[in-house]
C-alpha cells in the first residue's frame, strides 16, 4: 500500500508541467498609427497624444512546446479562429473583414525574432454599413495600428 501511494504521489509530481514550456511576454507600446477616413493616410500619432487606454502594458502567454496561446490582456478568444506558429512569426488568424457577426477586424502578429507585436484593428464591412445607414457619414477608413516591443519575463504580474 505504501509503494502504491508513493508511486501515485511521485507520478503526480512528475506529470505536472514537465511537458510544457510556458513563455510569458511583457510588451510596451512603441508606435501608434491612426486613420479616420478613406481619403486620409494613416498617420503616426505621438505617444504623448495617445489615449491612456492604449498605453497600458500588454501581457501574453504561450505554451511553446504544444504551440498554444494561453492568454493575454490584449487578445481575446473571440477575435481569431486559430493561432499559427511559424519559425519567424506567431499569427492570430482572423475571422475576416467581411465577417457579418463582428464589428471589428483584428490582425495580430508577433515577430518571434524581433519581439515586435503588431496589432491592427479596423471596422468590418458590416460596421461600416451600419454607420452609413445610421449617420450617412463615410467612416470607411477607420483603422488603428499599435506596435509593441515585447520581452520575455520570468513571471507575469
pLDDT tens, residue by residue, 122-139: 877 777 777 777 776 655
Angle 76-82-84 (CA atoms, 0-180°, nearest 5)? Answer: 115
By the 8 A CB rule, do 106 and 97 touch? no
Task: Supply the pLDDT for residue 19.
Answer: 53
- Structural domain boundaries in the chain: 23-150
Report the pLDDT value the prediction gives residue 8, as an integer from 0 to 100. 45
What's the Cα-to-Cα distance from 45 to each of 28, 42, 150, rounded to whole Å? 16, 9, 20
Please say whether the beta carbons of 116 and 148 come within 8 A: yes
pTM: 0.76
Amino acid at each position: 500500500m505504501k509503494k502504491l501511494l508513493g508511486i501515485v504521489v511521485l507520478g503526480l509530481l512528475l506529470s505536472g508541467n514537465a511537458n510544457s514550456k510556458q513563455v510569458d511576454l511583457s510588451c510596451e507600446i512603441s508606435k501608434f498609427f491612426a486613420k479616420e477616413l478613406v481619403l486620409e493616410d494613416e498617420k503616426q500619432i505621438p505617444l504623448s497624444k495617445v489615449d491612456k487606454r492604449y498605453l497600458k502594458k500588454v501581457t501574453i502567454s504561450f505554451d511553446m512546446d504544444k504551440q498554444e496561446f494561453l492568454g493575454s490582456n490584449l487578445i481575446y478568444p473571440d477575435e481569431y479562429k486559430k493561432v499559427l506558429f511559424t519559425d519567424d512569426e506567431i499569427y492570430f488568424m482572423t475571422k475576416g473583414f467581411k465577417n457579418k457577426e463582428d464589428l471589428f477586424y483584428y490582425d495580430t502578429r508577433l515577430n518571434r525574432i524581433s519581439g515586435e507585436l503588431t496589432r491592427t484593428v479596423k471596422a468590418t464591412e458590416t460596421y461600416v454599413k451600419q454607420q452609413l445607414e445610421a449617420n450617412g457619414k463615410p467612416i470607411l477608413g477607420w483603422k488603428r495600428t499599435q506596435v509593441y516591443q515585447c520581452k520575455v519575463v520570468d513571471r507575469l504580474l
